[in-house]
Structure 1
Amino acid sequence: MDVAPGPAERPAPKIRKPLNRPQTTEELGFYAQNHFIMTICAVILFPPFGLIGLYFSRKTNEANKDSDWEDAYLNSSRTIWIDVFGILAGLAIIYTYVLLI
């Protein structure tokens, strides 16, 4: 008799702890970019993607402050991809609008 497997165990949510100390110069050298200027351009051109990019930009800053480099770089790459898609979508809408008028 086959027994159906139980539900997959979900990993516990990651809890970041503040450092409670100033970061060293070596730690400051690992900061991931938050791509804030690109995010602002994406918010102006295509707000749905721009606001998502703003969220990930904020998450990048939080991870940088807590020296969580893995999350910082992951959120940084998410931010840039979403910003690029937002800017391209906004430019495509403007381009299409100009062609149809």
Structure 2
Amino acid sequence: MNKVVASKLFESLASGVRLDVWRLLVKAGLEGRVAGQLASELDIAPNALSFHLKAMLHAGLISVEQEGRYLRYRANIALMQSLIGYLTEECCAGHPEACGIVPAQPKC
């Protein structure tokens, strides 16, 4: 991970709708959600949701898979963990234990 990639990821999340999408997809885990489910759960028009999903796909935050006539979206958890690692790698000069911070273990 580098600054350019990290900036791109933050830009792609710079929307309340995109943060909501991300959280729903993380909650869904490996099952993911089809676009219609996401639109329904977020109470957002499908065309508006499509705009946000495209930005997140372009950044690599989510993946999509065709299932018949549906598109299933999944969160790229590994990329987010990499971003978190990039943000915290220099914590307390590389010694996070000195800061009293215990690295969070993913729950998925």
TM-score, shorter chain, exceeding 0.5: no
Q: Name the one with the larger strand percent.
A: 2
TM-score, normalising length: structure 1? 0.28
TM-score, normalising length: structure 2? 0.27
